[in-house]
Amino acid sequence: MARNGKRRSSNSAGGRPRHSEKPKKRWWLRILTVLVGIGVLAVIGLVLAVMVTMRSLPSYSTLKASEHGQMIVVRARDGRELVSIGPSYGEWLDSREIPQVMKDAMVAVEDRRFYSHYGVDPIGVARSLMVRVEKGVWRQGGSTITQQLARNIFLNNNKTFDRKAREAILALALERKFSKDQILELYLNKVYFGGGAYGIDSASRLFFSHPATQLEPAEAAIIAGLVKAPSRYSPTADADAAVARAAIVLRLMQQEGYISGAEADRIDVSTVKLKEDHGQNSVRYFTDWVLPQLDFLVPDSFEPIEVWTTLDVGMQRAATTAVKSNAPGGAQGALVSLDRDGAVLALVGGTDYVESNYNRATQAQRQPGSSWKLFVYLAALEAGYTPDTPVYDRQITIDGWTPRNSGGTYAGKIDVRAAFAYSKNTVAAQLGQSVGFGTVASMARRFGITSPISTYPSMVLGASEVRLIELTGAFAAVQAEGRSVEPYGITRVTTADGDLLYERKRGRQDQLVAPYVAAQMTDLLQTAVNTGTGRAAQIGRPAAGKTGTTSSNKDGWFMGFSSGITTGVWMGKDDNSRVAGLQGGTAPARAWAAYMRVATAKRPVEEFTTELTMPEWQLEPDDEAWFGGEGGDYYFFDEEGNPIDPYGRDYRAPPDDGSRPGDAAGYGPDGYRDGYYDNGYPEGYGNTPPSERQPEQPRGIDQDFLDRATGRQEQNLRRDAPPGTGTGQQQVQQQQVITPTRQAQPKMVEIRPAQTN
């Protein structure tokens, strides 16, 4: 019995797991089968796609003869050719003519498993995915030389999975159709190396003045290092970057066994002699800025095109000379000049494009110093300050920060105009605190500043970094009476045959601030040039502007406008080190004046609009409350904002003949136009037939009824005051004494130092 019981017990305890394992195994087998089936179908599909693609590929001779790249002719605003940019091809070198060191350098740096994979490198793809997971962004590409060749010949550079999938299929097809030597030959003769050079022979002639058959190991390392970023590692643009990149290539060649350690040590890349290039000039700063915009303006094609721009050749020449002649020794300079609609007339990104193609006018972010006060004073003027408002220039402390003036002295009681003209830092700090530092930041955003903006108190003195072209656009908006100005450089794009591909439409101009605020700001800017820190910018005609100098004289700015042209100038060093004697009112202001004398020479003299017409919201509140509506009629509203008729439902608004209460003629004894309610008008209330009138409604006794009942018709009839505003007679008295005020009364700004423990 016990034995049988144990047997039953063991069966009941041990039987269930054995029965439950079978369904689990079946599910795993089903999932595995499905996955294997999907994998088999995917492989079959991939093989079919590769076979179909391989059959559709051109022959090797066709690929050799094909040239890619687009010829682009850039023209100035008068139609003159500025520069012609397009592909440059050298001699085609077959695999036997290409130096072996060039092949080894390219394979080492771009695809070290080139000879072992079949077009796609699984290890490289896995490494790229791991970096993506660890860093959160695509930092390392997994493309092979074959994939790059497929992309350069058949595809574009869009970073999409669809493009990558097609690239992989094309690479596998190329590997099936051509040999490794043929693929490497195609690649080295077609890859882009910068400066318009396609292929190693064109690159060798461009950078070293000799054919690629004569390449030395150091030169081959430089060329191989260019593929990753041709503009960044170009030896003519940044020799130090090119040398550093070439050193990495040599180290990789040593790791892969192409050269020994001793050979690597003997190669000195810094001794390579580069070809002298005299063809580049400051126009390239402008073309480098506008040409990338073509990706968004015209469809992709390899058809030759002509790009018509806004650049003025004479102004560009004057701008280049002004920057070079006035930049302090060892310092760089940049200039941006805009027409009144935002057209870029001149753009200089540095003192010498050949030495450095880094565009300081459109790329560099630097602290603007006191030129940032444009936004501080705009916010203050919009808040109700005027150029004549009294302020105090004195030592203050805001949240533990104590600003100081440049000369270390304080002027005491002055007005806003003088504070701006002499760039008083303490007043700017007080105004910023008065209107709110966030308000100043919002004003800068409103005027087109896109870089991060600090809201600490010191931001009023230009602690946030800006781009020169953005700040120039902000000053241009002031000259445009407060309307937005967007810098642009391309007016139209055509094919070589003249077919229109793109034409710029007139951009939308938003009203950023009221015209009276812009007029007041112009008043301040004009005073800064006439009698303030910008006196060196005087050009013999009305000019308005602002200087800017950062701490330790690291940056100098002058921003200003005259005769419809707005120009900004920056000077400083790329490493942000001190420049002795650099101030916004010295070299930058002199460069601005030298350029603007040429730029405005053929333009009529324009006087600035600085008359102050205050907006309606600065009228006295009672005036504003009782005026409104077309025709100047009075209207009343209930608590929910609905219009009401204080004279009954039959009331009809009198026609507007242009007369107003208080005029000598036009109003009868009832206080309205020629006795409107005394049947003076045929369509008046008194002549309305009874059949057309609304049913009479009981009316309460009001002051109007009492006036008529007691015969007090000699008094001017007035309207009932809205509920809660006093009696009608009191309202008459209020209206008789109100005089609209067109100028706000000056107010004194006095901010006490913050208390510290």
What CA–CA distance (Å, rounded) separates 406 from 549?
A: 10
Residue 589 burial (CB < 10 Å; 0-12/13-18/19+)?
buried
Inter-residue contact 731 to 410 (CB < 8 Å): no
Mean per-residue pLDDT over the chain, rounded: 78
Res. 700 pLDDT band, cuts 50 70 90: very low
What CA–CA distance (Å, rounded) separates 315 from 566?
A: 13
Mind telling me the catalytic residues?
A: 110, 370
- Whether the per-residue pLDDT at 314 is higher than 80: the answer is yes
The most confident of 267-276, 300-309, 353-362, by mean pLDDT: 353-362
Hey, what amino acid is at 184?
L
Q: What are phi and psi of 576, to 5 degrees?
A: 65, 30
Tell which residue, 719, 623, 604, 607, has the closest CA to residue 670: 719
Hey, what amino acid is at 144?
T
- Whether the per-residue pLDDT at 537 is higher than 60: the answer is yes
Residue 417, classed as helix, strand or coil, is: helix
- Whether the per-residue pLDDT at 458 is higher than 90: the answer is yes
What CA–CA distance (Å, rounded) separates 181 from 98?
A: 11
484-495 pLDDT per residue, tens: 999 999 999 998
Tokens 């459109």 found at: 362
Q: Are strands 305-309 and 72-75 parallel, antiparallel or unpaired?
A: parallel
Residue 754, classed as helix, strand or coil, is: coil
Beta carbons within 8 Å of 451's beta carbon, 6+ residues apart: 365, 464, 465, 466, 467, 470
- Whether the per-residue pLDDT at 714 is higher than 70: the answer is no
Res. 560 pLDDT band, cuts 50 70 90: very high
Structure token pair of residue 747: 């107010």
358-377 pLDDT per residue, tens: 999 999 999 999 999 999 99
Mean pLDDT over 299-316 rounds to 89
Helix (H) or strand (E) holding 378: helix 373-382
CA-based end-to-end distance of the chain: 93
Beta carbons within 8 Å of 498's beta carbon, 6+ residues apart: none
What CA–CA distance (Å, rounded) separates 29 from 16?
A: 21
Handedness of CA 510, 513, 514, 520 (dihedral sign): negative
> Quick one: how many helices (H) and strands (E) in the chain?
24, 16
134-155 pLDDT per residue, tens: 665 544 556 888 888 888 777 7
For 194: left if phi > 0, alpha if psi spans -120 to 50, otherwise beta; the answer is left
Helix (H) or strand (E) holding 471: helix 468-479
Beta partners for residue 88, in sequence order: 197
Tokens 């040599």 found at: 250
